[in-house]
Structure 1
Amino acid sequence: MIVSAKEFIINSLRYSIRSAAEKDAKGLSDVRVQIDGETENLDREPGEAYINETSFKRIIKEDSERGNHLFLVAEVNDRIVGFSRCEGNQLKRSCHKVEFGVCVLKEYWGYGIGKKFLEESIRWADIAGIKKINLNVLETNENAIKLYRNYGFEIEGILKNDKLLSDGNYYNTILMGRLMQS
C-alpha cells in the first residue's frame, strides 16, 4: 500500500511523511549511517550492517509489493530526515503481525516525526488487516516508551542485559506490542 505525502507543521518545522520510493535509496543509506552515530537507542554501532543504495532499492521494491510491509520516509526541504518500517513475514502462523522500527536524525527530534510515523503505521495496519504491531525499545529511551504506551502498546517482555552500550554497561530491551482494535 502506498501512503501519499502528508504535510505537517510542528514548532514552525514543515515536513512530510510518505511511502519510500526507489529514488530515496541513496538518501536513506546516508541517513541511516548518520543516525547510527547519533544515538545508542538503535541496535547498531556506526557503520555496522551498512545498507548501500542498491540494497535500499531492493528493500523499497519488496516492501511496496508485500501487503504486510510499510516503508515510510520523512522529508524536510526534499531531504530525508528519518524513516520507519513495518515488516511482516509470509509465514502463515505469524503473517498477522508486523515489527515496527523508527529512526529520526537527532537534529529533528522533538518535532513529532516519530509520533507521526507511528500514527501512519497504525492507520495503515488497520486498513491492511494487521492484527498486531510489535517493537523493541531500549529501557533508557523513556520518551519512546511513553509514546508507545500512549498509543496502546503494552510491555510484553524484557530481554535482560540485552545491549552493551558505549559506557560499558548492559541495558535491557523492552518488548512491546499493540493488538489492533477489532
Structure 2
Amino acid sequence: MWVDEKEFTVKKFHYVIRTASEKDAKQLVKVRWQIDGETENLDREQGEAYLDEAGFLKIIKNDRESRRNLFLVAEVNDQIVGFSRCEGNGLKRTDHKVEFGVCVLKDYWGYGIGQNLLNESIQWADINEIKKITLNVLETNEKAILLYKKYGFEVEGILRQDKLLSDGHYYNTVVMGRLQNQVL
C-alpha cells in the first residue's frame, strides 16, 4: 500500500516521509548496509541477510500491491536516511495484524524521523482497519521502548537471552504490541 508524502521540520531540519518506490532500491541497499553497521539494536550485523537491488525491488513491488504491507522511506535532499516497514501476511488467523520495523542512519537520530515513521505507520494501520501492530525491540534500547509506550504499545513478553552482542553478553528482546485506536 502507499501513503501520501508528508514534509517535516524538526529543529530546523527538513525531511520527507513517503512510500518507497522502485527508484529507491539502489539507495536502500547502501542505507541498509550502513545502518546494520552502526547499531546493535537490529537483528543483523553488517552484511548478514544481505539484500541486493533486485531483492529490494521485489519487496517494494510486493508491499505496494499488498493491502497489509507498507514500506516508507525518510528522505533528506533526495537521499534516503531511514525507512520502516509494516508487514502482514495472508493467513486468515493473523490477517488482522502487521509487524513493524524501523531503522534510521545514526547521523539523523534526534530529528524525530523514527517517531514520524512510526506515527505514519500507525495512522495507515488504523485507516486500513489493521487491529494490531507488533514489534520487537532490544531491552537496552530504552529510548525506543519509551517511544513505543507513548504510542500505545504495551509489553507482551520477553524473549530471554535472545541476542548475543559484541560484548559477548546475551540480551533480552522485548515483544510489544499496539491494538487499534489506543489512545495516545
**TM class, shorter-length:** over 0.9
Q: Which runs of 5+ in 2 are unaligned?
A: none
1:78-103: CA deviation from partner (whole Å, max 9, x where unpaired): 00000000000000000100000000
CA distance in 1, matches of 2:4, 2:99: 22
Match of 1:89 in 2: 89
Once residues 181 and 12 of structure 1 are traced to their aligned partners in structure 2, the CA distance between those partners, rounded to angstroms, is 31
Alpha-carbon distance in 2 for matches of 1:123, 1:57: 25
Structure 1 runs (4+) greater than 2 angstroms displaced: none
Percent of aligned pairs with the same residue?
70
In the TM superposition, 1:18-167 aligns within 5 A as 18-167=18-167
- Distance, in Å, in 2 between the alignment partners of 1:38 and 1:11 is 23
State the superposition RMSD in angstroms.
0.8
Q: TM-score, normalised by structure 1?
A: 0.99
Aligned residues: 182
Quick check: 165-174 or 2-11, which moved more?
A: 2-11
1:31-65 Cα distance to aligned partner (Å, 9 max, x none): 00000000000000110000000110000000000
AA aligned opposite 1:7: E
Secondary structure of the 2:81 match is strand
TM-score, normalised by the number of residues in structure 2: 0.98
Q: Give, as a single letter, the amino acid of the residue that structure 1 aligns with 2:23.
A: K
Is residue 13 of structure 1 aligned with residue 9 of structure 2?
Answer: no
**How far apart in 2 are the matches of 1:52 and 1:163?**
25
Distance in 2 between the 1:52 and 1:144 partners?
28
